Structure 1
Amino acid sequence: MVPVQQEHRRGLLLRVLPAGLYAGRASALLERSALVSSRAWLVFASGVAEPLFYLLAFQIGFGKLVGEVAGPGGQVLSYVAFVAPALLASSAMNGAVFDSTFNVFFKFRYAKLYDAMLATPIGPLDIAIGEITWAVLRGGAYSLAFYGVMGGMGLIVTPWSLLLVPTALLLAFAFAAIGMACATFLRTPSQFDFINLAVMPMFLFSTTFYPLEVYPEALRVVVQCTPLYHGVELMRGFFTGVLDPSMFGHVAYLVVMAGIGLWATSRRLGRLLLR
């Protein structure tokens, strides 16, 4: 009798609360995503390949030409050690952005999957949380695999580096939330060029391959405003064990970015799907 009464009260709440506040069933989307990915594991695993090839290239070839680079706190690092945490951050970003934009767009515009979900007790907030969480898990899986490669190459030298994986999850969450919000504005597949136009410059210029000091003063300000820069700086700090108060600012930037993205995604889905 008690479960029946609880379910009845839940049904009343679902009819009274605004659609954007529905929550508690995001796990259903995670289960679906896991089942779908289990049949396309090769695509899922390929996300590790690109940063791995970059890392091997810098270890075997390009790193021998550059030599050593100044890292956080004035530490002298080999070039591959300087680039490795930045590539880990980029791996988390790429995995999250791919899953929260390309996949979400086709589910939303063509498969009409979310329209079918809203015929159930699932609401826009559940969809946002479920899809963003799956993108975070995917980005985190890429990062964990990449971290294992770094350990196999002998690049892990401090216990603080264990925090690289939680940092990657935070970075993936921030990019997934914003990426899914952006995906709701796209109308045609050709508009994914705008996503690439934002991601590629961040990958190249967010101190991924060069220290911030090599940029002109005006460009430094632009670089410091990009979200990947904050992720890379966090990664390098934990990777080298050089911690400073500015890391709290980097974390706060990513947390605010994630919160804004989650709010914007749920609002956009509610407006588009329930109009």
Structure 2
Amino acid sequence: MPQITVRSGPFAGMYAGNIRAVLERGFLALKTNNWAVFASGFVEPVLYLLSMGIGLGAMIGAVEGPAGPMSYPAFIAPALLAVSAMNGAIYDSTWNVFFKMRHSKIYRIMLNTSMGPLDVALGEIGMALFRGAVYSTGFLAIMAVMGHLTSPWALLMLPAAVLISFAFASVGMAITSYMTKFQQMDWIMVVLMPMFLFSATFFPLSVYPEQIQWVIQALPLWHGVELLRQLSVGVFTAGTLVHVLYFVVMVIGGMVFASIRLKSLFLR
């Protein structure tokens, strides 16, 4: 007879220690999905790197980076790695989560078992983290082939990109829990596209007016871009720690809100 573990404490109704079941279901579903769709979010940043890095790079020349002048392709490559990590996490934690939450009602079925809201939230965020990690690894390999990994410290960009994915996945799931119609999902792109274009992805922050710089520095993608850009050349400052803590706060806040929302939606 299977042994049943009864949990007690403040998280007894939120967590049953069964994240594995959510992950197993996610990977089984992934096997039957179209892998071209899975890879689509990875292709866009790669195309930007190839087109703008090679095309504009030939005209722009050197750009001021964290450790001094650097080539334009080397300048935008870490930024596009951050974008790739964000894309992978956002896709799984928004569109996929919305379908399971509002249409297939999978979360309601899961929460009718012994699983708690935190199990579901961590499992779904874990799947989004997997996609973000795959995107980041593939993009880092392309950077290596193109010769944009100029420092051994650049290998730290991979765990940093996973942290970025974790943060965006956590917040993405929390935000998606408040959406009730497919049309509302367009709001996500309305936010992501300007953030992608203006988070010092293609140009140094100094080209913007000072008032705009303050706004940009509040954006999560800017922190990801700056973190990976610093790691790419092995520069560590107090700002590096600030970037990391920014994403840690996003992770914790996103998971807490996502769990609370799942509980209020399906366990009332």
Which of 2, 18, 31 is residue 25 of structure 1 equivalent to?
Answer: 18
The TM-score with structure 1 as length reference comes to: 0.93
Q: Which residue of 1 aligns with 2:54?
A: 60
Please tell me whether residue 89 in structure 1 is matched to residue 88 in structure 2: no
Which of 159, 165, 187 is residue 172 of structure 1 equivalent to?
Answer: 165
Deviation at 1:65, TM superposition (A): 1.8
Distance 1:81 1:129 in 2: 34
Distance change >3 Å, CA 124–CA 45, structure 1 → 2: same
Which of 44, 48, 52 is residue 50 of structure 1 equivalent to?
Answer: 44
When the two structures are aligned, how many residues end up with a matched partner?
Answer: 267
Please tell me whether residue 139 in structure 1 is matched to residue 162 in structure 2: no
SS in 1 for 2:7: helix
- Output one character per residue of 1:160-184: Cα deviation in whole Å (capped at 9) or x when no partner: 0000010011000110000000000
Distance 2:54 2:149 in 1: 18
Deviation at 1:46, TM superposition (A): 2.3
Which of 188, 195, 207 is residue 195 of structure 1 equivalent to?
Answer: 188
Q: Which runs of 5+ in 2 are unaligned?
A: none
Which of 58, 66, 70 is residue 72 of structure 1 equivalent to?
Answer: 66
Distance 1:39 1:152 in 2: 31
Distance 2:216 2:16 in 1: 37
Distance 2:112 2:105 in 1: 12
Distance 1:245 1:17 in 2: 35
Distance 1:118 1:205 in 2: 40
Distance 2:204 2:161 in 1: 20
Q: Is the 8 A contact 2:54 2:73 kept in 1?
A: no
Q: Which runs of 5+ in 1 are unaligned?
A: none
Question: Residue type of the partner of 1:88?
Answer: L
How do residues 212-223 of structure 1 correspond to structure 2 at under 5 angstroms?
A: 212-223=205-216
Deviation at 1:28, TM superposition (A): 1.0
Distance change >3 Å, CA 189–CA 244, structure 1 → 2: same
Which of 31, 43, 47 is residue 38 of structure 1 equivalent to?
Answer: 31
Deviation at 1:42, TM superposition (A): 2.1
Same amino acid, percent of matched pairs: 49
Q: Calculate the aligned-residue CA RMSD, in Å.
A: 1.6
Distance 1:258 1:59 in 2: 31
Q: Which residue of 1 aligns with 2:118?
A: 125
Question: Residue type of the partner of 2:79?
Answer: A
SS in 2 for 1:19: coil
Please tell me whether residue 185 in structure 1 is matched to residue 178 in structure 2: yes
SS in 2 for 1:120: coil
Distance 1:115 1:48 in 2: 31
